Structure 1
Amino acid sequence: MFYSEEELKEQEIQVSSKLYLVFIPIFIICGLLGYFQVNSLDCNKRRYENNRELYFKGIVIDKRKEGDYRRARKYVVLDSYHEEQVDNFIYKKISVGDSVVKGKGSDSIYFYFKTGKVIIQDYNKAYREKYYKLLNEE
């Protein structure tokens, strides 16, 4: 019942070739599906409209970072317990007690500081640009 070295090598080659025949098409199909989903007009339109309809407002009660390195994601936590990711510029300027508002149907997010200063940031820029680019290609 013991196999010789040659038979084992032959079986190993057969098994690995069968595995390649199964997994390579699966990887190709997954890659194609991912590519078409990223470049799908309907999918990008849905993402853009969902972000456009997002609504939140509140007073900043906490600031936090994911990690201790320079490019770590930075968040502000609002009194409504909504947590929103912000860029480095806003994270450095905002403090506890400042207000954040993102209106429904708007692409802008407003940061109201206790000093009276207001910063308006384009919240939906990446989704909007991708959607309009795909829209113009058709």
Structure 2
Amino acid sequence: MKRKIALALSVISLSAAGIAGTASSASATSTAEQTQAADALAGKLEVWDKNNFAGDRAVYKKSVYNLVDKKFIRTQKTVNDKINSFNNTTRKWIRLKQDIRLNIGHVYVAQPHSKDGNLDRNHDNPDNMNNEISRIKFM
């Protein structure tokens, strides 16, 4: 009788451990899913090397101090001084800065949820920033 009780208790404890393990892995999965959902809501900055959102594209979700070593997606072409249009789908202001080497030059401040298909002089951008951006700073 004691053996049957001990056997039953060990089966119950193993079942409980299995359920607890499943619950913790489920909560880890839901946390990962929540993080992905938050990232999707946070948005991104997409940049293109041609006007009107055409040509090679790169995507950023955080600041980049120096674009010299950054490449457009699926190419070997560097992003530095090659950005001509952007789409900011974040809730953040983003500074697109010219010439980081000397820490001088013009700055284009992209508003949250904004886009510009041509970084030549225009209403939103009094300075010509086509092919001039070397730094991206999320504010």
Global fold match (TM > 0.5):
no
> Highest relative contact order (Cα 8 Å, sep 6+), 1 or 2?
2
**TM bracket (short chain):** 0.3 to 0.5
The structure whose residues are more often helix, as a share, is 1
